[in-house]
Amino acid sequence: MRIVALNASPRGWLGDTHRMIDPFLRSAQHSGATVRRYVVRELRIEPCNDCGACEVTQQCRIDDDMRRLLGEIAEAETLVLAFPLFFGAAPGPLKTIVDRMRPLLSPESSGASRKRRRTFGPQSVVMVAVSTSWDRGRFEPVCSWFRAVADELSAEVSGMLLRPHATAWSAMSEDDALALSITEALEDAGRELVLDGLVAPESEAIVAAPLIDHDSFVAFLSAVRADVGQCTTEAVR
């Protein structure tokens, strides 16, 4: 299995998004997959200008890093989109990349309707997302968007690994039993993707499981923000 993974966190190789995908991708690689990782912020990719050329030639006219990336995605069996939740959605740079995937599609016209079909590219897609919010329901809009992306690509959704209240998770020691259970579930998910072609619902459930009750999380987050504010004030002084 050939996997291309896009990390759209502004923190790149740091932060909770990387903490999520690293054990997942390492396990997939140990299970026999070839993995290519990209940090979105390190790429120079312009927005789609809707010129329509790619619908005819299956190539984009814009000369930037998307040409190389698109070639990698076209040859991948699985595409992994990893990102932090921004205002209930994926960060803008990742959406720009998805918009530029149009060369993977070709138009079909039938009367007044217009449908698309995948001509080449990934057969499956996996979403890995983190959120500061305690509520797992905050992922619902982006999950709907992700399913729409899969539908456009005619690809199967092979997994959705969601981590709510990720701030609390990142504050936990890696040796903590709950934190360790998430890491192990991410490793299981990578192995399941390669061997079974699908992340098991049990692994998804463990990754998304509550780590703290809502009231305790609110108190924790307030303390974190107070500490950040104090550090900022001292830096200004």
Amino acid at 145: W
Sign of CA dihedral 189, 194, 199, 200: negative
19, 8, 11: which is closest to 168 by C-alpha?
Answer: 19
DSSP secondary structure string, 93-142? Answer: HHHHHHHTTGGGEEEEEETTEEEEEE-SS-SEEEEEEE-SSS-GGGGHHH
Length of the chain in terms of residues written: 237
Share of the chain above pLDDT 90, in %: 63
Residue 139: predicted pLDDT:
95
**In this predicted model, what pLDDT tens digit does every residue of 71-84 receive, in sequence order?**
999 999 999 999 99
Q: 224: pLDDT confidence band, cut at 50, 70 and 90?
A: low
| Structure tokens given for 21 | 């995908």
Residue 235: Cβ within 10 Å count:
7
What mean pLDDT is reported for the chain? 86
Residue extents of the structural domains in the chain = 2-211
- CATH of span 2-211: 3.40.50.360
pLDDT tops 70 at residue 120: no
Give the separation between CA 177 and CA 5, rounded to whole angstroms: 28
Give the residue carrying structure tokens 């979403």: 127
- Confidence (pLDDT) at 221: 73
Please write the tens of the pLDDT for every residue from 185-209. Answer: 999 999 999 999 999 999 999 999 9
Q: Is the pLDDT of residue 223 over 90?
A: no
